[in-house]
Amino acid sequence: METFERNWYVLHTYSGYENKVKANIESRAQSMGMGDYIFRVVVPEETVKETKNGKEKETIHKTFPGYVLVEMVMTDDSWYIVRNTPGVTGFVGSHGAGSKPAPLLQEEINHILRSIGMSARHTELKVEIGEIVKIIEGAFSGLEGEVQEIDNEKQKLKVSIDMFGRETSTELDFEQVDKI
């Protein structure tokens, strides 16, 4: 019996093809009508400052080269579509012979996503720029602010709040605000 629970899985890919695999999965999910089963696809990366020849330069390093994270509901169809995406060599935690993989534990995905500045909890927040939201968590809890920017990929908002008569801009996670 299939469970319809959203979980994170780890895919093994050809090294260097992580971003191509991410784009392919997102496009296949869209074109094959699997948007209700395949959600976020993440290539964990971090920006590292390096100094070469006296010049400081920022480079992006893959945290787990050869791996891609996918948030999905594991069904026969979603599993087939992801597994057969060009560049995917398989799911981590699958024992082969058609067996479905084990999802990541919540603590594991929380740690990984937090380390790259993302939230593990996917929050549906339907707001538009210019709308007023109530801040329900964090340093500005209880205040209201106007939405200035929306980053659906990272699940973050830039909100302008009025503090002591001055406009202050702050970045918040989707789950830190409620629509009014």
pLDDT at 7: 92
- For the chain, which domains are there? 6-115 (3.30.70.940), 132-179 (2.30.30.30)
Q: Is 172 in contact with 117 (CB distance < 8 Å)?
A: no
First-residue to last-residue Cα distance in the chain: 40
d(CA 74, CA 64): 23
49-54, long-range: CB < 8 A, 24+ apart: none
pLDDT value at residue 2: 45
Return per-residue pLDDT of the chain as tens, 180 residues: 444 688 999 999 998 999 999 999 999 999 999 988 998 999 988 888 888 888 888 888 888 899 999 999 999 999 999 999 999 999 998 876 677 899 998 888 888 887 887 766 656 678 899 999 988 877 888 889 999 998 877 778 899 998 888 999 998 888 788 888
Q: What pLDDT score does 110 carry?
A: 80
Question: What sign has the CA pseudo-torsion 62, 117, 5, 82?
Answer: negative
Give me the pLDDT at residue 12, please.
95
Read off the DSSP letter of residue 101.
P
d(CA 149, CA 131): 11
Backbone angles phi, psi at 24, to 5 degrees: -65, -45
